[in-house]
Chain A
């Protein structure tokens, strides 16, 4: 299947690559199919690209890369819904926002996306009674005080 994306141009999507979200990503309930795209220039960030809407994509990251102690419980009914037998079968992605005002890279750790490896069915959770929130500054979480770099990320965004 061919897919026209703003970032990568035309890409070929194999049916087997598709990750399905039976209830969509929160706020985008109609869009059910995505693919996870690697991006050399922005690794380890990846793109969760919608198949049905080429303009819809999220920057995502494996949250454990910057927050090793990140943890939450996946309720059994959710595991069942996505077809995972145990939590170890589940991959976790955090959706990243580049804050328009500060250009900070923030990750939503309160709304993690869980993907069952065997079925490729995914769901975005909303964690309750959790220390996590929707805007964790990724670079700060890594314990590095950044001065110039976030600004250059901003410059990258503003490039015409």
Chain B
């Protein structure tokens, strides 16, 4: 990993189009400003990772034998409609 030391107000440039600026350092928190082309997506790492992990979990479930979701769905809809009617 490349490690650079920057002061508040200083930037780094990634490739030709991405600039990351240290806006403010306060205690343990650093505020970063990111300039990037519109098509570049920027995410907080933990949020991106949470989605990634959920996808992996979704993909690895032993889904082959699932065949009753349609029935469950119908039951739920019935309960919902029944409650509405009462």
Contact = CB atoms under 8 A, between A and B. Distances in A.
Interface in A59-116: 59, 75-77, 80-81, 95-100, 105, 108, 110-111
A76 B10 CA distance: 30
B7 interface: no
Contacts of B56: 27
A117 to B, nearest CB: 21
Q: Which 4 A-B pairs have the closest CB atoms?
A: A77-B38, A111-B51, A42-B69, A27-B52
B54 interface: yes
A26 B49 CA distance: 9
B51 to A, nearest CB: 4
A3 to B, nearest CB: 15
B48 A41 contact: no
Interface string B44-75: 10011011111111110111111111101101
A59 B41 CA distance: 25
B26 interface: no
B28 interface: no
- From DSSP, what is the main secondary structure of chain A's interface residues? mixed
Interface residues of A, number: 51
A97 B61 contact: yes
Interface of B: 38-39, 41, 43-44, 47-48, 50-59, 61-70, 72-73, 75-77, 79-80, 83
B46 to A, nearest CB: 11
A131 interface: no
B85 to A, nearest CB: 14
Contact of B67 (A25, A28, A42, A97): A42
A149 B50 contact: no
Given A59-B63, A100-B61, A144-B79, A128 B68 contact: no
Contact of B80 (A43, A81, A144, A157): A144
